[in-house]
Amino acid sequence: MSSGVAFSDLSVWPVILLMGVILGGLLLGNALKRAVPFLRKSLIPVSVLGGGVLLIISTFCKLITGKYFFNYFLFGNGTNLTGIEIMEIMTYHCLAIGFIAMTLRRTGQGEKGKGKVKDVVNSGMLTVNTYLLQGIIGLAVTFTASVFIPKLLKASGMILAFGFGQGTGQALNYGSIYETNFGFEGGKSFGLTIAALGFLAASIGGIVYLAYHKKKGDIIIRAEDKSKAEKVEEEGEIPMVESMDKLTVQIALVVICYALAYGIMFILGNLVGDGLKSTIFGFNFLIGTLAALIVKTGLNLLKKAKFMHREYINNFLLSRIAGFAFDIMIVAGIGAIQIDLIKDYLFVILIMAVLGVVFTFLYVKFASKTLFGAYCHEEFLVMFGMLTGTASTGVILLREIDPMFETPASDNVVYQTFPAILLGFPMMLLAAFCPKSDVSTWITLGVLVSYFVVLNIVLFRSKIFKKRTPKEAKKE
């Protein structure tokens, strides 16, 4: 007699049912976007609307029945996890999957020039400087607020940089680390809430900026030229359909990269010990990017050695995989927020969010005007969108005035990733060090301020150390 799984058992179905609700929320968000004039004119992403709908439903369910909608038996029965925990896992994995898919994309294949290396490096430094600024603001707020709310983790302000600067996945990662390793009750929901507010900040701030400069006549809102759609297939690629579907090939490459990333994290985690293991696994998106670079380099070497004669990577399909992963990440992340766990922190979160938005807006605007004068508006929109939401949020804002990506702004936001990772890596280590004690929090704040000053001197070097003209020298 077989002892296998009975497919009629409810334990077989929770993830499918949960995905059905998440994707249903995404479609409902899309319907609202199209049906409500205010939302249609706004730049709020559909995934944020869908996540908001699920959060409202789940929270009302908690108020009425005492249990969150996603924690009912339908979504977790037969497993050791609740529905909300499964959604948090989805958010965690989708972050890495999206980064891997974007990294695997081919570059330089007949595309426009990538702009000056200097602008790419400056964009990377601008990204890291904004993370530092957000971290400084966040720590200043939570350190002060902890005097009045003793259970608030002083170091929790660091999450502002990850929730705004890197989005839902990283906000959840560090919220989870702070909750699991340092006893910060509600840390996951704390991070997810900051990330959700970041998306709203990107949308509202982008609309205000566009409306103001449109009225001044500085920018023109342009419609996208539908005749110049993204290429579905490049020359020399494998056929769309043969013995193995082309989409299957792209998914296989992404999953292989993620499996390789797990192997790297497993080895590193065992080398550093239990104390830093969760931090290593919190870098899943970063190590996933590294794994994708390794696989992509391997494929290129096979092609050069004539062992592989066709191109297996397809940019169009990889973009779709990344888009799907990021949509699920945002919807699941917002839907998984548990309001009751952060009710004591809501005022602190709002103060952090408001200050974070204002200073991010002003700093990115100043840097864009100073360093990217020829296309300062495009650079501002894509960077502000990315530094309060995600890169895709920045692209949504950029499309309003540069729908065909004719300025270097779109290339800058892609290629700045590499200098940003190198320059921003110390901040990730500081985020793990920060909550260990009050002293470590003060040290972290001091290092953030110092690093911010140094990087700004480097970023604005051409203005600070501007060479004097012969006429100016003569006057002296």
Question: For position 19, what pLDDT does the model report?
Answer: 92
Q: Which residue positions in the chain have pLDDT lower than 50?
A: 1, 109-115, 226-227, 472-473, 476
Question: For position 429, what pLDDT does the model report?
Answer: 84
Question: For position 130, what pLDDT does the model report?
Answer: 96
Q: Which H or E element spans position 382?
A: helix 376-388
Question: For position 112, what pLDDT does the model report?
Answer: 43
* Sign of the CA dihedral with 272 first, then 275, 278, and 279 last: negative
| 277, amino acid identity | K
**Structure-token match 């990850």, residue found:** 162
Question: For position 4, what pLDDT does the model report?
Answer: 66
What the block records as the tokens of 19 is 């995905």
> Which string of b and e fits 181-194 if b means at least 16 CB within 10 Å?
beebebbbbbbbbb
**Structure-token match 């996603």, residue found:** 70
Question: For position 470, what pLDDT does the model report?
Answer: 52
| 3-state SS assignment for residue 188 | helix
Rg (the chain; Cα; Å): 23
Q: Whole-angstrom Cα distance, residue 196 to residue 52?
A: 9
Q: Which DSSP state fits 307?
A: S
What the block records as the tokens of 168 is 């839902």
